[in-house]
Amino acid sequence: SLAGSPVTLKILQNWVPRVSHYFDKEHYTYVGHQIVIQESIEHFGAVVWPGALALSQYLESNQEQFNLKDKKVLEIGAGTGLLSIVACILGAHVTATDLPEVLENLSYNISRNTENLNMHKPEVRKLVWGEGLNEDFPVSTYHYDFILATDVVYHHGALDPLLATMVYFCKPGTVLLWANKFRFSTDYEFLEKVCNIFNTTILAEFPESNVKLLKATVREN
């Protein structure tokens, strides 16, 4: 079941008009920094989706409630890296993960936008949902304060492994922040599963974009 009443927000146009003539670059401003994102047309994970904008904006506006400074943050399905870059600017130790074919563009965006910052250096790693978690991210070594996930639920066949991945990384004390566009019944079915497993609150809704932003924590007995 869901707790709390969400705030209703609008995704602000935080991107700056394009100066470059290349179709594949987007310019954003968050937390006083200009961020340049290179998109790629070959992969789903290589376009900036609205959930990433929604959560980036929310973290920027709610730094007291969700203070990322010196926190360990894992992003699953990091895509182009925008949200991980914002988390890095906010002072987190960030590990951005995605599928192997997305990592080159992800690494490029993250390094180019964080190289001159006096922040913790972000890490980019391969993570295929539900695969090799114990080997690649053993519980004894890896504990995250925040798990970030945006636009990870759409028409794909990996919803069960995605849920298993959320469950794996959400330990007592971990906060999962998940922003997603809700369009299909499968999206709502996934939400229902999340609510059945975790303590879940809708923090914000962005009705114009059909985006909901949820906070989930482990149920402690």
Looking at residue 61, which CATH number applies to its domain?
A: 3.40.50.150
Flag whether 72 is in a domain: yes
Residue 2 lies inside a defined structural domain of this protein: no
Long-range contacts of 180-183 (CB under 8 A, 24+ apart): 180/51, 180/149, 180/150, 180/151, 180/152, 180/153, 180/211, 180/212, 180/214, 181/49, 181/50, 181/51, 181/151, 181/154, 181/209, 181/210, 181/211, 182/210, 182/211, 182/212, 183/210
Whether 68 is covered by a domain: the verdict is: yes
Residue 1 falls inside a structural domain? no
Q: Tens digits of per-residue pLDDT, 163-205? A: 999 999 999 999 999 999 999 999 999 999 999 999 999 999 9
Residue 106 lies in a domain: yes
Q: In the chain, how many domains are there?
A: 1
Provide the pLDDT for residue 20.
47
For the chain, how many residues are written?
221
Residues of the chain where predicted confidence (pLDDT) is lower than 70: 1-4, 13-24, 41-46, 221
Give residue 212's pLDDT.
96
Residue 195 lies in a domain: yes
Cβ contact 146:66 at 8 Å:
yes
Instruction: Classify 86 as helix, strand or coil.
Output: helix
In a domain, 122, yes or no: yes
Kindly state whether residue 162 falls inside one of the protein's structural domains: yes
Structural domain containing residue 187: 45-218
